[in-house]
């Protein structure tokens, strides 16, 4: 009996101690940033923001939170969100969007590695491929894919009065462009009119799985980013990232075979036969493998995999999303479509495929592209950094070192103090009203492509693709949206869009009269 009482006392003591430790941790978490306003539950747990992400509407929830609490808001025990572009800062990323393999561990990439040295190792060798001048070298390949898109639209839908999902075809176009640039061959989305090899599905599944875990990186490391967690994921859940990595790995091996690549058994360094391809005809993967061959001591052996993975994911889906956003808004605000058409026809741009040199200085086209980039950025969860040693001041708030701070591109890009009281709405004219300096300020205030050292390398290439596609569609086709309420968006870190249904016919070679302005909000 005495032993039972002792055991009960020990259990009681243990439970009490555990309760005390939980209470202490909760109090310390609340106290850490108690001077920053925010939802009460967010001050003690990250589970709330994880639940926001699981709704796939976290960008709207976060926007409401900022409306209620202000421009600097506490959304986690050690996490701050800002909505004012003036607060843009840089430090390091968390690692939750990295795919994991048992052999290689987490895969670092330029857009997700927290290690500044690795970031430099990955970015420096390839940065020159994506400069404003060098992306012009890829325009002919974009035109090749536009030719395929034109053939498919004409053969499938012209003259049939058929309703079709334009959003899917723009996504197919974006992926086939990146396939051509990366592997010298299209994935086949446009040719087949469908998701080849479930690549789009795998990307969506990967993002849907990873997005909630980005809110609690420590839990992600315990439950997923280790051998046991990975085994559980593979056997009982969908390991979507492995489908993408498997595709990338197979593509690299095939490219090595084509190029005559050989592995040296002694150090594993890749060797290329440089005579197989030269000049500007080299695709990205060929260039990536050549970089590894030339600098095996400074470039990680897994770098080509990381670069190619980034091309497949960030270089395709994000561009397709921006194309879709821009075209959707042009269609639901037809007065802006008519202004753009008049500008394009007045410029005497080449048809059917206008040259980028003919387009890049057209003010209204440029404004429409920028407005699309602003309205619905392809990455809509906060781009998080860690406050460096010594802390920082953000909009009159002192933020201590070690705090995670970030801004959602969706929320920051709609800051009314910067972009106007109508920032919620599509209005390309905002980019033209107050001169070039104001336009540059607005561009610098957007978070769509990131900021500082972490700015997206593919910014200029993506802009070229979007500009050419929009000009091609507007110049050559009369497209009418059907039931815009069917257009849906999903925020799973990437901004997935579908349901842009339309009819299409060839465009007459004259400026059509203005149509009644749509009053549909975005």
| Residues in binding site for heme | 456
CA 78 to chain centre: 25
Give the residue from 192, 191, 237 showing the smallest Cα distance to 213: 237
Q: Phi and psi at residue 398, in whole multiples of 5°?
A: -85, 120
Residues at the annotated binding site? 456
Check: CB of residue 81 under 8 Å from CB of residue 75: yes
H helix intervals, 237-302:
240-259, 284-294
State how far the Cα of 281 lies from the Cα of 9, in Å rounded to an integer. Answer: 77
Torsion of CA 425, 429, 434, 437, to 10 degrees: 90
Sheet strand arrangement including 79-82 = 72-76, 79-82, 404-407, 383-386
CB neighbours of 313 closer than 8 A, spacing ≥ 6? Answer: 203, 206, 244
3-class secondary structure, 394? strand
CB < 8 Å & 24+ apart, contacts of 448-453 = 448/373, 448/374, 448/377, 448/378, 448/379, 448/409, 448/413, 449/373, 450/111, 450/383, 451/88, 451/90, 451/383, 452/88, 452/89, 452/90, 453/90, 453/119
Terminal C-alpha separation, the chain: 72
């Amino acid at each position: 009996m005495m032993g039972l009482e002792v055991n009960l006392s020990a259990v009681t003591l243990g439970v009490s101690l555990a309760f005390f430790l939980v209470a202490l941790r909760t109090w310390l978490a609340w106290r850490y940033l108690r001077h920053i306003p925010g939802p009460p539950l967010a001050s003690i747990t990250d589970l709330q923001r994880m639940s926001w992400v699981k709704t796939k509407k976290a960008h709207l929830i976060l926007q409401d939170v900022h409306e209620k609490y202000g421009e600097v808001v506490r959304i986690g025990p050690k996490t701050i969100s800002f909505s004012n572009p003036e607060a843009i800062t840089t430090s390091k990323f968390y690692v939750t969007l990295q795919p994991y393999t048992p052999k290689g561990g987490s895969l670092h990439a330029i857009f997700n590695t927290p290690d500044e040295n690795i970031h430099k190792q990955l970015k420096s060798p390839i940065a020159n491929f994506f400069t404003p001048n060098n992306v012009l070298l890829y325009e002919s390949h974009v035109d090749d894919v536009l030719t395929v898109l034109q053939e498919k639209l004409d053969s499938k839908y012209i003259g049939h009065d058929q309703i079709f999902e334009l959003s899917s075809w723009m996504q197919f176009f974006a992926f086939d462009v990146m396939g051509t640039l990366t592997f010298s061959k299209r994935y086949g989305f446009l040719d087949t009119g469908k998701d080849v090899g479930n690549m789009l599905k795998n990307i969506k599944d990967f993002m849907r799985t990873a997005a909630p875990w980005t809110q609690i990186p420590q839990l992600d490391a315990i439950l997923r980013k280790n051998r046991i967690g990975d085994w559980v994921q593979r056997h009982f859940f969908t390991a979507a990232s492995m489908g993408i990595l498997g595709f990338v790995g197979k593509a690299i091996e095939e490219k090595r075979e084509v190029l005559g690549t050989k592995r040296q058994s002694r150090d594993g360094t890749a060797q290329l036969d440089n005579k197989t391809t030269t000049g500007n005809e080299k695709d990205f993967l060929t260039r990536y493998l050549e970089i590894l061959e030339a600098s095996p001591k400074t470039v990680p052996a897994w770098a080509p995999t990381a670069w190619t993975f980034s091309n497949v994911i960030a270089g395709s889906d994000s561009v397709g999303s921006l194309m879709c956003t821009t075209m959707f808004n042009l269609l639901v605000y037809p007065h802006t479509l008519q202004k753009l058409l008049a500008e394009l026809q007045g410029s005497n741009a080449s048809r059917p495929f206008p040259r980028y040199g003919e387009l890049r200085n057209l003010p209204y086209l440029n404004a429409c592209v920028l407005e699309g980039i602003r309205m619905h950025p392809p990455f809509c969860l906060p781009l998080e950094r860690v406050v460096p040693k010594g802390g920082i001041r953000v909009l009159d708030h002192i933020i201590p070192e070690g705090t995670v701070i970030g801004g959602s591109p969706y929320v920051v890009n709609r800051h009314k103090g910067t972009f106007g009281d109508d920032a919620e709405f599509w209005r390309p004219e905002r980019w033209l009203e107050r001169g070039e300096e104001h336009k540059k300020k607005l561009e610098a205030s957007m978070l769509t492509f990131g900021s500082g050292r972490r700015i997206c390398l593919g910014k200029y290439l993506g802009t070229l693709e979007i500009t050419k596609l929009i000009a091609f569609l507007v110049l050559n086709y009369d497209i009418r949206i059907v039931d815009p309420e069917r257009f849906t968006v999903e925020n799973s870190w990437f901004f997935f869009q579908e349901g842009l249904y339309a009819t299409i016919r060839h465009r007459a070679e004259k400026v059509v009269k203005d149509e009644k302005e749509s009053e549909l909000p975005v």
